[in-house]
Structure formats: C-alpha cells, structure tokens
C-alpha cells in the first residue's frame, strides 16, 4: 500500500520493482496506490503504470491533499488481502525487503521494518528519533526499536479496528505501533536498511510534527494504559509536597503544613483518582479481537 503525494519521479521505478520482487517470490499480491491530491504528474504516471500492470495495480485518488494518515486509511479500507504492507513512496524502502516482513506472519500481527541506520542524517533528526523510541518504550513497557518506520506489515482485520485513531498527518506508524502493543497483539521488529529519498525533500517538519508525535504518544498511552502516566505524575506531586512541607518546617522552626504542601498533596490525590477512573474506563472499552495465531510448544518426544 503506497501513499503517494508528488512522487512523480520515484514511483516510475518503485512500482515495477515491487512487482518484480513479489513475482520473484511467488507471493499473491496487489498494489494499492493512493494519490493524495498530487499537483505534479504523479496521477498521470500512476495511470501509465496501471496500464502496464492492470492486474497488480489499483489506484485511488483524493481530490485534495488530506495527509499521509488519511491516505493510509483509504488504502487499508480498499485493500483486499488479509495482510497489508505499507511503505513510503519516496524510495527510502526497498521492495526486496517485503518478504522479510511477511515471513514472521503468523504468529505476529504487526511486523515493523526497523532501520539499522535510523540515526544517520542530521543530529536533530537523530536525537528526535532516539527520544521518541526511548520515550515510547518506557511508556509502553516494551522495547521499541523504530517507532516511526512506515515500512510495516499488518493483519488487516486488526488494523481496521484502529483506523478511527489514525491522524491525518505523519503519525499513523506511531499510532499502529502503540495500539497493537497496548491492545495485546503480537509485534516484532525486522532489521532493514533504510535508504535516502530518491527525490524531493521530506515533508516532516521537525519541531511542529515532533510536538504532535509527543502528544500522540501520550494520547495512545492514556487511551490504553493511563496509570502509566498518572501514577508517576502523582508521585512527583507528592514528592514536591514533601519538599514544601520540609521547607515550611525549616522556615517556621516548628511542625507546620504550608499551603503549598497542602495544594501539592491535594493535586497528587486528584491525579491518582483521575488515573484510577481512566483505568477503569479503559478496561471496559478495550476489546481484544482475538488471536488465532498462537504458538504451541511441544515437549520433546511428543
């Protein structure tokens, strides 16, 4: 599944590579290309490729640019297969790596292509990627090797359940990673080599989109595991309350409870209560769809 936005130069070489790679492996497939309101020659180029690969390529077009996440939603909805592979249309991902993502399915429900050279490039982009991986790993209680990789394979029946959570921008990979993990599905990472853009410039803005990534991570964790956020916040407020109490004691030279300490302790109690209420609501609204892909271990000799 390819979200395409003004990638006229790249798709002419990328789509034939995908077709060749899948034919060589003998894997049944279809390519769903979603043109997200491109203003260059991407639409005409896709039509030519459609005439060249009528059985393999399906085209969908947004009349206006709606964003990467919206394109992924559209492509996943119209896809016919049981497994959906998403990849960027800018040439950073190698079609020859698609079989690597498909090999662990089943038993895995989500397989993510983790870029070995993730931290190459500008130091700001590298630092941001490292922060997102560490921050999301701590919040999700799972080691996340590559949170933002758009190259991934997913069980379609599962990801359809999470489509309403998809943002319109560039945070769909983050959403699927955290949603699959926190809902209890099987997730693994497969090492791949991430290449450079074949043409054009990245459409991700570091500071603006980075802020959205942080907010999305927090939103997803609150949606599935709110105590992971509310409990540490309550502990922090309680510690500040203790420090305010000690400072008031030293200042007054007698055992007093200053207003600042009362405020902080009250805030900590309210945060904890809010966290417990959120956890109760979460436990009643999350429905695990079931997983028939369970690995059974047999004893030797059986």
Strand-pair partners of 187: 110
pLDDT at 197: 55
pLDDT at 285: 57
Q: Residue 158 carries which DSSP code?
A: H
Domain 2-224 -> CATH class: alpha beta
Give me the residues of the chain with pLDDT under 50, please: 119, 288-302
**Degrees to nearest 5, angle at CA 288 with 185 and 167:** 75
pLDDT at 239: 93
121: alpha, beta or left? (left if phi > 0; alpha if psi -120 to 50): left
Give the torsion through C-alpha atoms of 218, 223, 224, 230, to 10 deg.
Answer: 60
pLDDT at 204: 56
pLDDT at 172: 82
pLDDT at 196: 61
Q: Who contacts 243 (Cβ-Cβ below 8 Å, separation ≥6)? A: none
Residue 185: phi, psi to the nearest 5? -85, 165
- List the chain domain ranges: 2-224, 227-285
Among residues 209, 128, 200, the alpha carbon closest in space to that of 167 is found at 209
pLDDT at 147: 82
Would you say the pTM of this structure is higher than 0.85?
no
pLDDT at 180: 87
How far, in Å, CA of 177 to CA of 182, rounded? Answer: 9
């Amino acid at each position: 599944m390819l979200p395409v936005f003004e990638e006229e130069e790249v798709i002419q070489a990328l789509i034939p590579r995908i077709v060749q790679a899948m034919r060589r492996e003998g894997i049944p497939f279809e390519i769903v290309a979603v043109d997200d309101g491109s203003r260059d020659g991407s639409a005409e180029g896709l039509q030519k490729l459609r005439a060249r690969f009528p059985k393999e390529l399906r085209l969908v077009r947004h009349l206006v640019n709606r964003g990467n996440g919206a394109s992924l939603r559209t492509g996943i909805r119209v896809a016919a297969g049981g497994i959906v592979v998403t990849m960027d249309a800018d040439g950073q991902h190698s079609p020859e790596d698609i079989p690597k993502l498909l090999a662990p399915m089943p038993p895995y429900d989500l397989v993510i292509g983790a870029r070995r050279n993730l931290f190459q490039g500008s130091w700001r982009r590298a630092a941001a990627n490292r922060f997102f991986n560490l921050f999301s790993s701590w919040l999700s209680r799972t080691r996340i090797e590559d949170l933002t990789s758009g190259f991934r394979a997913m069980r379609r029946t599962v990801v359809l359940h999470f489509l309403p959570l998809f943002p319109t921008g560039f945070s769909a990979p983050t959403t699927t990673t955290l949603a699959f993990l926190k809902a209890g599905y099987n997730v693994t990472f497969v090492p791949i080599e991430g290449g450079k853009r074949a043409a054009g410039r990245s459409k991700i803005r570091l500071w603006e989109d980075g802020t959205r990534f942080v907010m999305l991570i927090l939103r997803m964790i609150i949606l599935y595991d709110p105590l992971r956020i509310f409990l540490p916040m309550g502990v922090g407020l309680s510690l500040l309350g203790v420090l305010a109490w000690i400072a008031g004691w030293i200042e007054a030279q007698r055992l007093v409870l200053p207003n600042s300490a009362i405020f902080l302790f009250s805030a900590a109690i309210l945060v904890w209560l809010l966290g417990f209420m959120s956890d109760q609501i979460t436990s009643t609204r999350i429905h695990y769809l079931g997983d028939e892909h369970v690995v059974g271990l047999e004893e030797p000799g059986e």
